[in-house]
Each structure stands twice: as C-alpha cells, then as structure tokens.
Amino acid sequence: MSNLLTVTVNGVAVEVASQATVAVAVVLAGQACRTSVSGQARGPVCGMGICFECRVIIDGKPHCRSCQILCEPGMEVRTDG
C-alpha cells in the first residue's frame, strides 16, 4: 500500500508513489534529466548511481544523481534541458 506524494519537475507537479526516486519522477514528467555537453537529451541508464546521466538540480543543488535520491514532498527538481 503506497502513499503518493507530489514533487515539481521544472515547475510542473508530478505525483509519485512514496519511496520512488527522483529519477522516476523526472521520467514520469516526460522530461530528460539533463542536457549533455553537446546538447543531447539524457536520462537514467545504469539505475545504480554510477553513470551520472541522471543528474538533476534538486532544491537548487546541481549534479544530484536522481536515481539514488528518494522523492520528498515539495521537492523542486529542475533539469537543465
């Protein structure tokens, strides 16, 4: 039985199951996590925190590996794309 909570991704509210990671919220929001050095959209790949493709800005803090961070109510997630 999971509760739901709400985070925002690029200003848009996204509802996720509690215990969902921020990466999941970004994918559910239909956003890419980041834009690569040459401008490509990127999303999570390894799911275990080693590829660094899932990096987003959480509550103003850049370079957060979203697949390793649990969503918390009210979190503001921004992707740079």
Contact footprint for another protein (CB under 8 A): 16-17, 19-21, 23-24, 27-28, 32-33, 36-38, 40-53, 55, 61-63, 67-68, 70
> Which 8-state DSSP code applies to residue 21?
B
Q: Are 10 and 80 in contact (CB under 8 A)?
A: no
Task: Give me the least distance between CB of 23 and another protein, in Å please.
Answer: 7
Please report where in the chains the tokens 């979203």 appear, as a residue. 66
The partner residues of 78 in beta bridges, in order of sequence, read 57
**Complex with another protein: residue 12 or 50, whichever CB lies closer:** 50
**Complex with another protein: residue 2 or 11, whichever CB lies closer:** 2
Task: Report residue 24 as tokens.
Answer: 């999941």
